[in-house]
């Protein structure tokens, strides 16, 4: 099954082919006659707004396509779906009655976290955490190996446990660890999984196809650390677990941060690729959708998206993620501003650092988008400090804010369509008994938590797509730190059943 998943992962669908295959895509614009430079800059913005348009009808098509891809991904391992729909083997979620101390390791970016959580049978009594930066040479490059990466992590974990022992903060007994590993894996049980591919800044080639739990377990044993990995999850499953710990109506979780993903609770009988012998007694299973790889002809793509994709480390992959996640929004805005600068150099005072990829980050976009000062001084400061563009006019700053608004609005509304697609898949909308039940979607990630206009736009689009009556029973709420706490909670729930 792992080989099939890897083979399917090698299929490449270009963004250009997706846009050409969409019945609702606008026809190519006719060549425009020469125009004054300011008008040319305004034309760039107008064309961007048109290409990024997300009317309700298009979003409904995206939601339906999402639900269809989910269905296809559940049907067969390594099939035609771009979405992996990974079975997590988490067949029950925390109830709030768990007790004892559990550890968590959260690996998903350039830093990882280690935590100890003490559960008191009704709440979290204590939580201790430490964040550890990973040296760049451990994540990628000629010296980056599986042994080096997991050895570094195990050493930090051993140090953390040692300090806890010195302070008398342990309950004694066997230590159990929940491992949040936020990269695509092919799981064969709740505590084993082989790496399908790396994302983000990681490129440790010899780890691909390896059981990451076995690698971590071996590294801990070599360092004399008596700890058992009792659950392997990703950050989205962790967010789902943490959300359900506090609210039993949580049915799905979404990560909207540097990257993006979603997980949800599925009826186990709907997972055709599971062998009957694998069906759990609970008849439910948490599915890690890997929705970042979702692709559909009706996603609104632009020339900037296509260029970004072709120049990325994974062209033709992670299409949805490149449209809605925090890693890419700033880069899309930068590419638009670079084109505006080429059409009207005086408007942005020269290109400055605009030609440098990823120099503009999504927090910069958020700060400019939220600028409510009379002269948009925050925009001016960001352009000067981040891009080296000085002396911008109020008109130029307003144009920058408009670009930020267009890009962020498209992202937020597409994220909303994805959420509605999941709710459609599990029968919480469009009729049926499920639509009358309260449905909670837990969301974690800095993009949702800190980018206020993004968050409000996404929530509004969810209501728009559901309709007022159905929207009354759907709650989208923040679930901070789900990836760390959630791993400990799944480990605790699994341990209680063992």
Residues known to be catalytic = 113, 182, 235
For 54-86, the DSSP string reads --HHHHHHHHHHHHHHHHHHHHSTT-S-SS--E
Pairing of strands 227-233, 284-288: unpaired
- Using CA of residue 118, residue 124, residue 129, residue 134, what is the dihedral sign? positive
For 15-31, the DSSP string reads HHHHHHT-TTSPPPPPP
The set of long-range contacts for 72-81, using a CB threshold of 8 Å and a minimum separation of 24, is 73/289, 74/266, 74/270, 74/271, 74/272, 74/273, 74/287, 75/272, 75/273, 76/272, 76/273, 77/1, 77/4, 77/5, 77/273, 78/1, 78/3, 78/4, 78/5, 78/6, 78/7, 78/8, 79/8
Provide the token pair at 105: 């390791």
Residues, the chain, total? Answer: 498
Contact 244, 492 (CB under 8 A): no
How far apart, in whole angstroms, are the C-alpha atoms of residue 25 and residue 469? 31
The H or E element that residue 96 is part of is: none
How far apart, in whole angstroms, are the C-alpha atoms of residue 176 and residue 299? 43
Sheet strands (E) in 122-205: 124-133, 175-181, 185-189, 192-195
Q: Where do we find the tokens 């979003």?
A: 59
How far apart, in whole angstroms, are the C-alpha atoms of residue 420 and residue 416? 6
From the centroid of its chain, how far is CA 309?
Answer: 17
């Amino acid at each position: 099954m792992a080989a099939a998943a890897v083979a399917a992962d090698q299929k490449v669908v270009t963004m250009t082919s997706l846009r050409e295959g969409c019945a609702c895509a606008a026809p190519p614009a006719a060549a425009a006659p020469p125009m004054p430079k300011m008008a040319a800059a305004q034309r760039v913005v107008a064309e961007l707004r048109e290409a990024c348009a997300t009317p309700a009808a298009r979003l409904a098509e995206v939601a339906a396509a999402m639900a269809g891809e989910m269905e296809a991904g559940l049907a067969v391992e390594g099939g035609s779906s771009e979405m992996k729909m990974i079975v997590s083997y988490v067949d029950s979620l925390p109830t709030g009655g768990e007790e004892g101390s559990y550890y968590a390791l959260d690996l998903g970016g350039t830093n990882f976290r280690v935590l100890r959580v003490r559960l008191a049978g009704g709440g979290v009594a204590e939580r201790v955490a430490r964040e550890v930066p990973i040296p760049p040479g451990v994540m990628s490059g000629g010296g980056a190996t599986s042994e080096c990466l997991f050895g570094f992590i195990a050493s930090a974990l051993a140090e953390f446990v040692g300090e806890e022992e010195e302070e008398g903060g342990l309950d004694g007994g066997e230590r159990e660890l929940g491992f949040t590993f936020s990269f695509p894996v092919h799981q064969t049980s709740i505590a084993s999984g082989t790496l399908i591919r790396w994302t983000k800044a990681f490129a440790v080639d010899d780890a691909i196809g390896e059981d990451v739990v076995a690698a971590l377990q071996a590294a801990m044993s070599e360092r004399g650390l008596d700890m058992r990995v009792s659950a392997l999850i990703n950050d989205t499953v962790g967010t789902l677990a943490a959300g359900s710990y506090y609210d039993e109506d949580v049915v799905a979780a979404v990560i909207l941060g540097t990257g993006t993903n979603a997980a949800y609770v599925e009826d186990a009988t709907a997972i055709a690729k599971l062998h009957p012998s694998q069906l759990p007694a609970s008849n439910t299973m948490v599915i890690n959708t890997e929705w970042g790889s979702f692709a559909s002809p009706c996603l609104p793509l632009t020339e900037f998206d296509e260029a970004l994709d072709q120049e990325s480390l994974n062209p033709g992959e992670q299409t949805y993620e490149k449209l809605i996640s925090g890693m890419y929004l700033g880069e899309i805005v930068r590419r638009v501003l670079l084109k505006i600068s080429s059409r009207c150099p005086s408007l942005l005072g020269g290109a400055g650092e605009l030609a440098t990829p990823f120099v503009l980050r999504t927090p910069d976009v958020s700060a400019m988008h939220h600028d409510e000062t009379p002269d948009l001084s925050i925009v001016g400061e960001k352009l000067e400090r981040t891009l080296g563009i000085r002396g911008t006019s109020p008109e130029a700053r307003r144009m920058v804010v408009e670009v930020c608004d267009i890009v962020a609005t498209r992202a937020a509304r597409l994220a909303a369509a994805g959420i509605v697609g999941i709710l459609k898949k599990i029968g919480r909308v469009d009729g049926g008994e499920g639509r009358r039940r309260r449905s909670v979607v837990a969301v974690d990630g800095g993009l949702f938590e800190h980018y206020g206009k993004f968050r409000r736009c996404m929530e509004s689009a969810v209501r728009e797509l559901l309709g007022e009556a159905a929207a009354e029973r759907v709650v989208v709420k923040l679930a901070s730190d789900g990836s760390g706490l959630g791993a400990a909670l799944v480990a605790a729930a699994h341990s209680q059943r063992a």
